[in-house]
Amino acid sequence: MPPFATYAFLCVAIMAEVVATTALARSENFTRLGPTIITVVGYALAFYCLSYPIRVLPTGIVYAIWSGLGIVLITAVAWLWAGEKLDVPAMIGLALIVSGVVVLNVFSKSISH
């Protein structure tokens, strides 16, 4: 699989996970049909798309990128859309997550560049 396709699938997996998690928060314990369907379909799409980069890149690296960027993006969605507050320690922690993902991608020899 070409590197562009590998990372495209990973990006789609991240976005699907963010949409699914956002819908999960609105599903009210799976009692609301619309958000429940979005949650199930979103997570299914996320895992399907995640299965492609895992065949090419080390599992730990793929999971670190997927979960790290997913955490940052879902936090941004909650902050912008739901008005959730972020204090300085939370922002520092998110910056450290992003820094870790950058270090993995730029400096790690585990990923062939």
Amino acid at 41: V
pLDDT of residue 105 exceeding 60, the answer is yes
At 42-94, the pLDDT tens digits run: 999 999 999 999 999 888 889 999 999 999 999 999 999 889 999 999 999 99
- Say if residues 85 and 33 touch (Cβ distance below 8 Å): no
pTM: 0.86
Flag whether pLDDT at 106 surpasses 90.
no
Q: Distance of CA 85 to CAs 22, 33, 81, Å?
A: 16, 28, 11
